[in-house]
Amino acid sequence: MYYIGIDLGGTNVHAGVVNEKGELLGQAEVSTPRGTEAVVEAIAQAGELSAQRAGISLRDVRSVGLASAGSIDPAEGMVLHAWNLGLDHVPLARMVSERMELPTLIENDANAAALGEFVAGAGRGYRSLAAVTLGTGVGCGAVLDGKLFTGFNYAGMEAGHMVIHRGGRSCTCGRRGCWEAYASATGLIRSVREAMAGHGDSALWHFAPTPEAVNGKTVFYAVETGDPTAREVLDGYLGDLACGIVNLINILQPEVLCIGGGISRQGEKLLAPLREVLDREEFTRDSPRRTRLCVARLRGEAGIIGAALVPEYR
Ligand SMILES: [Zn+2]
């Protein structure tokens, strides 16, 4: 039996056909149009093309799973708000289901990515996994005892909005001091810019001649030159990231915790200092059974594979 997974992004609609083992058999990508009807049509076309490339008929597809950013109501199959897609209170699952004549469901993209990693990436062969994606925000998802954990209202793993600095930076969610405001790529870039403003002599300026040129890699380059300002920014960032990871491990005790997103490509430069904090602070630090911290193994495909297989793991 086959499943179609669709990763609905602001730039591209990425579709793939997956079997029950999470193997990706065919993929297709089209650019994301504007407007609800056009988005539905693009999803259907990408899905059909991926089936064609996988060499299968849509009659052999059990269901379509959509992974979308923004505010989602999976119970109703609704996209409540996805500003980057121009969607506002759209019953997207029903519309795609009618167009493709297949059962269709929708899941938030961080949960779909976590499920994809569980089935076919860093969590393969384990019973539980937490996935943290460092991007514009901090996306989190968890699979516990083989089931996708969503909470009763499907918003159960919004761990990016746990407060790590009470009264700290204001967050898009309305609180202050959320983990995401510090540990996301956006949070890191903000910290680099603040440090540059106070240190005109920092090597950070060499790697980013203007504040607008700062990206998630700037501080990692500048640290290599021995620049003390960059070191201070990176240590602060790693401390904030580690704080949330220790919290997550203490609460969930997953067998694996994987970190994805652009910053995770730093590999051991990121993981080694995090492990030092875990060895010091994790509640189970003396236990023979400890959470394995690693980098996510899949990239764009995690969302497709996870979205496709949501019906099997809900
Ligand atoms: Zn928040």
pLDDT at 156: 85
CA 160 to ligand 1 center in whole angstroms: 6
Same domain, 168 and 230: yes
Same domain, 291 and 305: no
Q: What is the DSSP letter of 218?
A: H
Same domain, 226 and 246: yes
Same domain, 255 and 167: yes
Q: pLDDT per residue over 56-89, tens digit each?
A: 999 999 999 999 988 899 999 999 988 778 889 9
Residue 22 pLDDT > 80 = yes
Helix extents (H) in the chain: 36-54, 92-100, 109-120, 179-183, 185-198, 204-207, 218-224, 228-252, 268-281, 301-313
CA 177 to ligand 1 center in whole angstroms: 7
Same domain, 75 and 139: no
Residues in CB range of 233: below 8 A, 6 or more apart: 188, 191, 192, 195, 204, 219
Q: pLDDT per residue over 273-312, tens digit each?
A: 999 999 999 999 999 999 999 999 998 899 999 999 999 9
CA 313 to ligand 1 center in whole angstroms: 27
pLDDT at 152: 87
Same domain, 308 and 240: no
CA 157 to ligand 1 center in whole angstroms: 12
pTM of the model: 0.94
CA 187 to ligand 1 center in whole angstroms: 12
Same domain, 129 and 267: yes
Residues with CB under 5 A from ligand 1 (ion): 161, 171, 173, 175, 178
User: How far from the centroid of its chain's Cα atoms is residue 82's Cα?
Assistant: 16
Which range of residues forms the domain containing residue 239?
125-295
Count CB neighbours of 88 within 10 A. Answer: 13
